[in-house]
């Protein structure tokens, strides 16, 4: 993309495809006897979840949540709120939470507590990206696509002010820090 806001490519499209295929194989093996309910965190995880689901060779189900902690800024506000809740009951289900990126871990911690309170049989996390050095505690992720530097990134579902989600790769964002 010829856009000065799009910086260096952090993870290219081929790397993403290869890693998702590996994750799909592991998840297929781990959940062979009891397919998981995939819970995607909108909007960022939608591309990752679609590709991940196609690489899992089990009859998985889907549901989605939307949470907000960024607004139009490139730094979290520190407050997480549910914008769209799940439609399905989690009681007794094996739930795999699908995240685009784990930064500070604040949103993930909020989601884990919220979902665990709904009585799932198990709750694990699959994150495409883990931004290193920003978590105050171990995020305890069962499946991780890539560990990346602490730069703000865009592409493959990740955005800034709803822009750049459609990139087929993950790149550093070199634009203005607040678009609000």
The answer to whether the bond into 114 is cis (omega within 30° of 0) is no
Is residue 103 flagged as an active site residue? yes
- Buried b vs exposed e over 45-72: b needs ≥16 C-beta within 10 Å? bbbbbebbbebbebebeebbbebebbee
pLDDT at 75: 56
Asked whether 126 and 107 are in contact (CB, 8 A), the reply is: no
- CATH number for domain 6-173, candidates 3.40.109.10, 3.10.100.10, 3.30.300.100, 3.40.50.2020: 3.40.50.2020
Taking 50 as the pLDDT cut, the residues of the chain under it are none
pLDDT at 143: 97
Q: Give φ, ψ of 24 to 5 degrees.
A: -60, -40
One of 63, 103, 140, 178 is an active-site residue; which one? 103
Predicted structure pTM score: 0.90
How deeply is 2 buried, as exposed, middle or buried, from its count of CB atoms within 10 A (0-12, 13-18, 19+)? exposed
Domain ranges of the chain: 6-173
Helix 46-55 crosses helix 13-30 at what angle (to 10 degrees)?
60
Asked whether 167 and 1 are in contact (CB, 8 A), the reply is: yes
């Amino acid at each position: 993309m010829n856009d000065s806001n799009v910086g260096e490519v952090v993870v290219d499209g081929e790397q993403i495809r290869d890693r998702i295929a590996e994750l799909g194989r592991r998840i297929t093996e781990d959940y062979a006897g009891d397919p998981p309910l995939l819970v995607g965190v909108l909007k960022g995880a939608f591309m990752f979840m679609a590709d991940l689901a196609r690489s899992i060779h089990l009859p998985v189900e889907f549901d989605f949540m939307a949470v907000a902690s960024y607004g139009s800024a490139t730094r979290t506000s520190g407050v997480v709120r549910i914008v769209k809740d799940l439609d399905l009951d989690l009681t007794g289900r094996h739930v795999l939470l699908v995240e685009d990126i784990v930064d500070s871990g604040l949103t993930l911690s909020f989601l884990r507590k919220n979902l665990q309170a709904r009585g799932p049989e198990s709750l694990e996390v699959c994150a495409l990206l883990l931004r290193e050095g920003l978590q105050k505690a171990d995020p305890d992720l069962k499946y991780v696509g890539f560990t990346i530097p602490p730069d703000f990134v865009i592409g493959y579902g990740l955005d800034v002010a709803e822009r750049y989600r459609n990139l087929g790769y993950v790149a550093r964002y070199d634009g203005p820090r607040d678009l609000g």
